[in-house]
Amino acid sequence: MKEMGIRAQWIKKPQRPSIAPGTDQKLRNIPKQKFNPDRPNAVWCTDITYIHTKQEGFVYLTCIMDLFSRKIIAWKLSRTMEAEDVLEALETAKIRRKSDRPIVSHTDQGVHFTCSHYQKLTSDMIRSYSKKGYPYDNACIESFHSLIKREWLNRFDLENYWQVYRLCDQYIESFYNPVRIHSHCNYMSPNTFEQMKASSNAQPLTTEKQKTASAEKTDSGG
């Protein structure tokens, strides 16, 4: 081979984009697998899943879940993995869910969630990250993506982006959030659970002074 000038052609192994070495040690994991915040808009978790179609190859579903109720508060189906497309879901969530208290935004350490665009978008939030290559730290949203595929998307021959979009919309907006019961929500749907909690929190508290006054009024025949 050497005499004939023949050389082997090496194929460089593709590498996944990553953040700078050592950066993962600086990133905080705030929930630490405690997935039960005591109020809405305390902790949001985000993840991306791949969905294969026959005509267009992969499309990418980004979902954001409020851990309080397990509700999907925003989602985005995109044709690319560009950060701008993926992070549009977070922009939607911030518009829909106003909060006067800091929100923890928990993600994995993917390039979409460590890029400058994400840093800017979450400048008013508390950023939190799973350990590198450890999906259990983001188990709730990982579980949802498994659920939507198992219960719904896998029933269909997925042809293209628009079919997947319609199916995701049907599952999330018409079934999962308003109808599907969840053990975490005391076997209520995420929407019902949030409404019940909001209603109970809105109930006026009766003070001991008010109770005493009411009892005295009853005793006096008032």
Question: What pLDDT digit, counting tens, does each position of 188-203 carry?
Answer: 999 999 999 998 876 5
Residue 65 phi/psi, 5-degree rounding, is -115, 135
Among 37-41, 84-88, 205-209, whose mean pLDDT is lowest? 205-209
Q: How far apart are CA 94 and CA 98, in angstroms?
A: 6
Tally of residues, the chain: 222
Each residue of 130-159: pLDDT tens digit? 998 888 899 999 999 999 999 999 999 999
- Provide mean pLDDT across the span 159-172: 98
Give whole-number Cα distances, 174 to 108, 127, 177, 189, 193, in Å: 28, 30, 7, 11, 16
Handedness of CA 100, 106, 111, 112 (dihedral sign): negative
Question: Given this model, what pLDDT does residue 82 score?
Answer: 92
CA–CA dist 135, 60 (Å, integer): 18
Sheet (strand 126-129) strand order: 71-78, 57-66, 43-53, 104-107, 126-129
Percent of the chain with pLDDT over 70: 80
pLDDT for residue 218 is more than 90? no
Residue range 25-78, pLDDT digits in tens: 578 888 888 888 999 999 999 999 999 999 999 999 999 999 999 999 999 999
Choose between 9 and 43: higher pLDDT: 43
The pairing of strands 126-129 and 104-107 is parallel
**pLDDT at 8 > cutoff 60:** no
Confidence band of 186 (pLDDT split at 50, 70, 90) = very high
Of 104, 151, 148, 111, which Cα lies nearest the Cα of 128? 104
Locate 166 and state its tokens: 């319609």
**Which pair of tokens denotes residue 42?**
């305390």
pTM exceeding the 0.85 threshold for the entire prediction: no
- Name the band, by pLDDT with cuts 50, 70 and 90, for residue 215: low
> What sections of 47-107 are H helices per DSSP?
83-86, 88-96
Q: Is the pLDDT of residue 98 over 60?
A: yes
**DSSP letter, residue 71:** E
Q: What distance in Å separates the CA atoms of residue 70 and residue 4, rounded to the nearest whole number?
A: 65
How far, in Å, are 47, 132, 159, 175 from residue 178 at the CA level? 21, 33, 27, 6
